Amino acid sequence: MAGLTIRDARKSFGDTDVLKGVSIDVADGEFAVIVGPSGCGKSTLLRSVAGLEELTGGSIRIGDRDVTTLAPSDRGIAMVFQSYALYPHLTVYENMAFGLKIAKADKAAIDEAVRRAATILNIEPLLERKPAALSGGQRQRVAIGRAIVRQPQIFLFDEPLSNLDADLRVRMRYEFASLHRQLGTTTLYVTHDQVEAMTLADRIIVLRDGRIEQVGTPRELYERPANIFVAQFLGTPRMNILPAVAAGEAQAALADGRRIALPATTPAPTDGTDLSIGIRPEDIMLGDGPDALSFTVTFIERLGGLATVHLGARDGDEPLRCQLRDDGTLAEGDRVMAHFPPERLHLFDRDGQALARSTDE
């Protein structure tokens, strides 16, 4: 195994800059997830690590080797694609063994590696089947098994669960996590699905428009987002953002004129400064209180034991989303009081960058 170091990676297609100076360090044995919206450059970055795309500038190191100009077969990586890329005319066994046969590995060593991988992935009964006889989840396991038998220094996964249905994605996330615990191989995993990122990653790399927005553990990014983009990209339902103006005495005036208490920040915003106030749906508290504000329930999304309650203040404003246990007592049209605990608020400046809380110092 080995770590991965990417320095100032740049990639252009004609006049279009896709990667704009990306630098990443993935530690030996770490499971790192690159996440971002479609078109942000995450798959291009992964393909560059694999050697399937040539960088316009920058460098890639795997362990102590500079692999920037090496062929894919010489990099010590194994890649699992979104489309599985299995040979339809070969059996599962033959698909898994293919790379080792091309490398002219010993027949007994190939057999041992294939059967070991099949045992890890619980696909031993499938070894004589062809891909057409497999379900989507089984095909994905075969694609992963083909990667395992090569015993790479780094696993690369390019949106491997996007073709699966919702229930199977949940189960496969567990299997990916379990596989990483077993093998401990350095892994770089690309997805647009923030749930996959939050549940699988040791560290998340948030990419937007070819640049890194923030890197950190799932908890760090969720609790201390660097900007509004990260704050709203991670978390379901996404963070509420309220436009406001600093109004002294650790307060801000909302767009409708009502005031809300703010957490202490360093430096404190001066009076009249434009702000954006963020609060996650689960942090809004319904009920009377000295600082509570009145809202109308405009819509309720009921999901069994949980409900996402949409709260409207005035016509034209985007409703706030509040998530809570659903006891069935709320109805659309109800007037409710909502409290916004200052310690759970996130403040962003007019450029959308987070203001540091005093407790962060």
For residue 186, is pLDDT > 60?
yes
Q: Rounded mean pLDDT of 251-256?
A: 91
Q: Rounded mean pLDDT of 233-259?
A: 91
| Res 353: pLDDT | 96
359 token code pair: 């407790």
In 151-287, which ranges are continuous DSSP H helix? 166-183, 194-200, 218-223, 228-233
For residue 103, is pLDDT > 70?
yes
Q: Which pLDDT tens digit goes with each residue over 219-232? A: 999 999 999 999 99
Under the banding of pLDDT at 50, 70 and 90, the label for residue 212 is very high
Residues in a beta bridge with 259: 253
Burial of 298 (0-12, 13-18, 19+ CB in 10 A): middle
| Res 360: pLDDT | 61
For residue 267, is pLDDT > 90?
no
- What's the whole-number average pLDDT of the chain? 91
Sheet of 65-66, strand order? 16-26, 4-13, 57-62, 65-66
Q: Rounded mean pLDDT of 229-255?
A: 92
In this prediction, what percent of the chain has a pLDDT beyond 90?
Answer: 69
d(CA 67, CA 74): 8
Q: Rounded mean pLDDT of 321-329?
A: 91
d(CA 354, CA 216): 15
Q: Which domains does the chain have, with CATH numbers?
A: 4-233 (3.40.50.300), 240-360 (2.40.50.100)
Q: Tell whether pTM > 0.75.
A: yes
Q: Rounded mean pLDDT of 154-159?
A: 93
| Res 163: pLDDT | 79
Under the banding of pLDDT at 50, 70 and 90, the label for residue 170 is confident
